[in-house]
Structure formats: C-alpha cells, structure tokens
Structure 1
C-alpha cells in the first residue's frame, strides 16, 4: 500500500456493527509512501499512527 499526504484512508469494519472510518494522511514515515501513516480521523478529529491492514484502502486526494 502506497499513500501520499492528503490521501484518504478508508478502514472498513471487520465485525458486525463496526463503523467505517475515514481519515486524511497528514504525515508519512517513509518517503516512498509505505506505512505507517499519521492520519487525522474525520469522525473525531484525533490524529493517530496507523499500520493499515487488509481492511483498509487508500483513495487518492482530489487533484486541484
């Protein structure tokens, strides 16, 4: 998985009742875009470090 600053990370719930989480990549640990990523979550505004698994996908940032 490769991401860039500004891309969206979408994490699907893995259990019944789990909500989908969407966040914005705010920082990269590696210049080539490999995880982990610093993500600001849209639902609560918190920023966390994420090592995305199979339930996650990257959506590229909209081009201006």
Structure 2
C-alpha cells in the first residue's frame, strides 16, 4: 500500500521546465545553473544561439554576471526557463551570436 503525500507541504522551489536529456531551449530562453545551497542560483544567462534545430545542447549563452558569450554544455545542475513563445525550428539554428 502506498502512503498518501503529506498534506500542507508546499513545494518551495518551482519546477524547472527542461532539464537533463529532455532539455530543449530557444533563443531568448534563460539558462539557470543551481548553486550548492537550496534556492541559490550560482549563474544564469540568456540563450543567444543554438547549434541544433531541435533546441538540444550545446547553446551559446550570454552570462548575466559579465555579459560574456560562451559555448555551454549544461550539466545536471542546470535547467532552461522558457521565456519566449516561438518553438525551435528552421531559422533558429546556427550560432546566433550577437555582439
């Protein structure tokens, strides 16, 4: 028999929209890398370029902390926060780097 979930406990952290192997991003989405403490964001940035038309990693990311654009392969501590409404598709691939 499976016990019911405890009542009255709210989930303290919002669920990420895309993580791990299911991770898909679009230009304009945000990459968030979790910190070592609960609720702490270690790093975040904007996806400015895709290398695959389906939105799979790696991504060109402009990091909020310094504005530097790097090629980023997300690890298990990262997730995508979708901020745009257009799905990935033709015309969204390539480096998409902005100056």
Q: Which interval holds the TM-score relative to the shorter structure?
A: 0.7 to 0.9
Q: Where do 5+ consecutive residues of structure 1 fail to align? A: none
TM-score (norm 2): 0.56
How large is the RMSD of aligned CA atoms in angstroms?
Answer: 1.8
Q: Which TM-score applies when normalising by structure 1?
A: 0.85
The structure that is strand-richer by fraction is 1
Q: Which has the larger radius of gyration?
A: 2
Point out 4+ residue stretches in structure 1 off by more than 2 angstroms: none
Question: For this pair of structures, how many residues does the alignment match?
Answer: 61
* Greater relative contact order (CA < 8 Å, ≥ 6 in sequence): 1
Gaps of 5+ in 2: 1-22, 86-99
